[in-house]
Amino acid sequence: MKSFLKTTVAAVVLVVAGLGAANAEQVKVGIAAEPYPPFTSPDASGKWQGWEIDITMAMCEAAKLDCVITPVSWDGIIPALTTKKIDIIASSMSITAEREKTIDFSDKYYNTPTMILGSKEEKMDATPEGLKGKILGVQVSTVHQAYAKKHFADTAAEIKEYQTQDEANQDLAAGRIDATQADGLALETFAATPEGKACCEIKGKVADDLEILGPGVGVGIRKGDTEMKDKFNAAIKEIRASGKYDEISKKYFTFDVYGG
């Protein structure tokens, strides 16, 4: 009976290992499994496309890595990185001191202002007084959630937390919330869609808070994985210098998203 048990356990471990053995050379790029145009969004054939996907693949090419896009749930993306389910995070994750306690970041690869998108029918602006009595929606686990908690919690009527930004956008269009705070480009993309045009308009940029909003978006890397960090830093420099960065950005934007 004992040897039967041992062989069963050994067999199970082997089967699990065999099923899960992936190509050791592949670098799994974690992205949030939600539509986040213009950065990442799924198309009807199941492929992920968007500015961030293109830039990430360009960086991987420059670093000579075989990258594979691996969608993960946004609120579990950092645990996924630390438990080695994915190898890097390239999902518009801002570099903040809080996150740097757990993971490392590469240099930034873009920086866009944070804005508030609000209902056309409500008067408001992107300040704590301007949001008095309003219901604000943010995505969980983002710098926007932290910013809203710090600056708007006292004046806003309620801060609702959504699993994905597009659900927050949807509730804004439905009128359940009065405003949402997120990355300016993502909000502008939504505001340009038919639903966005009908319901909402950009109310302005929020006051800067470097500690919470961070200097920009970087590639998330496991603590101690200095090899990967150096590879990506070099890759970012290379695609900036070679013009590939601008070539890709021109397809999506008319201005420079790298930021100051």
Q: Which residues bind another protein (CB under 8 A)?
A: 16-17, 19-22, 33-35, 37-38, 41-46, 49-51, 71-76, 78-80, 83-85, 101-102, 140-141, 160-164, 166-167, 170-171, 173-176, 185, 188-189, 192-193, 195, 198-199, 252-254
Question: Closest approach of Cβ 42 to another protein, in Å?
Answer: 5
3-state helix, strand, coil in the chain (%, to 5): 40, 25, 35
Query: Contacts by 159-164 with C-beta closer than 8 Å and gap 24+?
Result: 159/135, 160/135, 160/136, 161/137, 162/137, 162/138, 163/34, 163/73, 163/74, 163/75, 163/139, 164/32, 164/34, 164/35, 164/36, 164/74, 164/139
Comparing CB distances to another protein, the nearer of 67 and 199 is 199
Apex CA 24: angle with CA 92 and CA 234, to 5°? Answer: 45
Question: Closest approach of Cβ 63 to another protein, in Å?
Answer: 21
Question: Closest approach of Cβ 218 to another protein, in Å?
Answer: 17
Q: Provide the phi-psi class of 179: left if phi over 0, else alpha when psi is between -120 and 50, else beta.
A: beta
Question: Closest approach of Cβ 97 to another protein, in Å?
Answer: 13
Comparing CB distances to another protein, the nearer of 71 and 113 is 71
Question: Closest approach of Cβ 234 to another protein, in Å?
Answer: 26
Comparing CB distances to another protein, the nearer of 22 and 210 is 22
Q: What whole-number distance in Å separates Cα of residue 16 and Cα of residue 27?
A: 21
Distances (CA, A) of 65 to 20, 24, 28, 232: 21, 11, 10, 10
Residues 6+ apart with CB under 8 A from 214: 94, 95, 96, 143
Question: Closest approach of Cβ 32 to another protein, in Å?
Answer: 8
Comparing CB distances to another protein, the nearer of 63 and 103 is 103
Question: Closest approach of Cβ 45 to another protein, in Å?
Answer: 5
Comparing CB distances to another protein, the nearer of 129 and 255 is 255
Comparing CB distances to another protein, the nearer of 17 and 210 is 17
Comparing CB distances to another protein, the nearer of 55 and 199 is 199
What is the amino acid identity at position 33? A
HSE-CB of 116 using CA atoms within 13 angstroms: 29
Question: Closest approach of Cβ 237 to another protein, in Å?
Answer: 25
HSE-CB of 145 using CA atoms within 13 angstroms: 15
Sign for the CA dihedral angle at 160, 218, 118, 72 comes to negative
Mapping DSSP to helix (H, G, I), strand (E, B) and coil, where does residue 103 land?
Answer: strand
Comparing CB distances to another protein, the nearer of 4 and 129 is 4
